[in-house]
Structure 1
Amino acid sequence: MTRRRGGGFDAARFVATLGGAGLLRPGPGTWGSAVVLPCVLLGPLPCLALALLLTLAGFWAAPRVLTPEEDPGWFVADEGAGMLIALAALPAATLAGVALAFLLFRLLDILKPWPVSWADAQPGATGVMLDDVLAGVIAGMLLLALQALLPGVIG
């Protein structure tokens, strides 16, 4: 999992799998999204900062563990980053808000509406990372719109 062939710790694979969450079955993308959910307890700004950090780490890891045309299920740093962006849109860590953020993000990640589908078609690390970042941004925007229309519903 996180060992190189010659032995030693493989930091890029550790980042790519979010500490091994991407190796869980079934649905490694769902596990990769779920593993960051406790971060919602830190608040919106820390979630956003962690999303940026994980996005940068994912862009660093992707070319080290993938060929340019690969986007395997075990690479879940992108799901973690996108989920953190969606969580950053929540005003408070409520069960309803987290569940809705998770559902919206996973639906956008799986269904890949435009522009998520466009980002997914990009080559290399850009396609691997950007589609989930955009899914997280769209989920976050939907959550913010819902809060503006129906204050107090999700937090």
Structure 2
Amino acid sequence: MRKFLMELIATALYTGKLPKMPGTWGSIFATLLVYFFWPQSLKLQLFIVAITFLLSVISSDYLSKELNSKDPDQVVIDEVLGIFITFLGVKAQHNPAAALAGLIIFRAVDIMKPPPITWFEKLPGGWGITADDAIAGVVSNLLLRIVGGFLHV
């Protein structure tokens, strides 16, 4: 049962097992959650980010050990966290321009991994898997706010 739950969480309801680009699938899944369900309350958003962060560290560490891989492709809960951070304090619910802009910005930042993001990948286990995407989310949030000014989001 534990393995099932850890895999379910780490793969973001198995979106990480979709063919090709698992990180993109996980990011699309998270963006859809934001688009349809993201709360207006910043306190509630921060609570969701904190819970997702903890679940990411624990489940990604478990699955990486189970699969004997430093950062398995199918682990996408870290991308979900990154997307949630990207949209922290941003009015993205039912806003297609904001949702699409945030998704594109996050994926670009996550793929390019400019410093200091790469530094956090070196942390051990689930911490390294999670922290780099959390920092990518922070960078993406800032970029989304800049771009959002032009898009009126």
Q: Which category of TM-score, normalised to the shorter sequence, fits these structures? A: 0.7 to 0.9
User: Structure 1 residues 9 and 131, CA, compared in 2 at 3 Å: closer, same or farther?
Assistant: closer
- Do structure 1's residue 33 and structure 2's residue 31 form an aligned pair? no
Which residue in the other structure is 1:76 paired with?
76
Which residue in the other structure is 1:108 paired with?
109
Higher mean C-alpha deviation, range 20-29 or range 88-97:
88-97
One-letter amino acid matched to 1:58: S
Query: Gaps spanning 5+ residues in structure 1: where?
Result: none
Query: Gaps spanning 5+ residues in structure 2: where?
Result: none
What's the TM-score, normalizing by structure 2?
A: 0.84
Which residue in the other structure is 1:64 paired with?
62
Higher mean C-alpha deviation, range 92-101 or range 25-34:
92-101
Equivalences, count:
146
Q: 1:43 aligns with which of 35, 39, 60?
A: 39
Sequence identity (%): 28
In structure 2, what is the Cα distance between the partners aligned to 1:133 and 1:92? 18
Higher Rg: 1
More helix by proportion, 1 or 2?
A: 2
Q: CA RMSD in A?
A: 2.1
Higher mean C-alpha deviation, range 24-33 or range 116-125:
116-125
Cα offset, 1:25, TM superposition = 1.1
- How big is each residue's C-alpha offset from its partner over 1:31-70, in whole Å with a ceiling of 9 and x where there is no partner? 1111112332323534443222111101111232213861
